Amino acid sequence: MADITFRSQVGVAGAAVITHSAGSGLGFYGDGYGVSVPVGQTQSSTWVTNANGTDNTNQYEVHNTRVGDPSTDIGTSTDGNEGQVQVDGGTSKTNLKNLPNYQCPLNIRFTHTDAVKVQNCKLRIFDRNNINKAASGVVTYVFEARHPAVETSVAGLTHRGTAGHFWTKYDPLLDPTSKDTIFTSSPGVSGLNSTTADQALTSKFPNAGVTSPAPTFTGTLHSSKQHDWYAAISAQPTEIGSKTNYGLYFSLEYL
The pLDDT tens digits for 189-205 are: 999 999 999 998 888 88
Rounded-to-integer distance, Cα 183 and Cα 230, Å: 9
Q: Please state the separation of Cα 146 from the chain's center in Å.
A: 10
Instruction: Examine the pLDDT at 29 and tell me if it is beyond 80.
Output: yes
Whether the pLDDT of residue 210 is over 60: the answer is no
Length of the chain: 255
Residue 159 and residue 193 in contact, taking contact as beta carbons nearer than 8 Å: yes
Average pLDDT over residues 212-240: 94
- Candidate from 49-58, 182-191, 202-211, 236-245 with smallest mean pLDDT: 202-211
Contacts of 43 (CB under 8 A, 6+ apart): 28, 29, 30, 37, 64, 66, 234, 235, 236
Determine phi and psi for 123, rounding to 5 degrees.
-120, 145
The Cα 83–Cα 164 span in angstroms is 9
C-alpha to C-alpha distance for 255 and 251, rounded to whole angstroms: 14
Q: Are 248 and 135 in contact (CB under 8 A)?
A: no
Q: What is the dihedral angle through the alpha carbons of 180, 182, 183, 186, rounded to the nearest 10 degrees? A: 120
Q: For residue range 118-150, what is the model confidence (pLDDT) as tens digits?
A: 999 999 999 999 999 999 999 999 999 999 998
What's the average model confidence in pLDDT over 94-118?
96
Amino acid at 184: T
Give the 3-state secondary structure of 81-123.
Answer: CCCEEEECCCCCCEEHHHCCHHHCCEEEEEEEEEEECEEEEEE
Return d(Cα 33, Cα 49) in angstroms, integer.
9
Q: Tens of pLDDT along 52-94?
A: 888 888 899 999 999 999 999 999 877 678 999 999 988 899 9
> Rounded to whole angstroms, how far apart are CA atoms 52 and 111?
28
> Regarding predicted confidence, which is higher, 10 or 218?
218
Give the whole-angstrom CA distance, residue 231 versus residue 46: 13
- Are the beta carbons of 142 and 232 closer than 8 angstroms? yes
Above pLDDT 70, what percent of the chain? 95
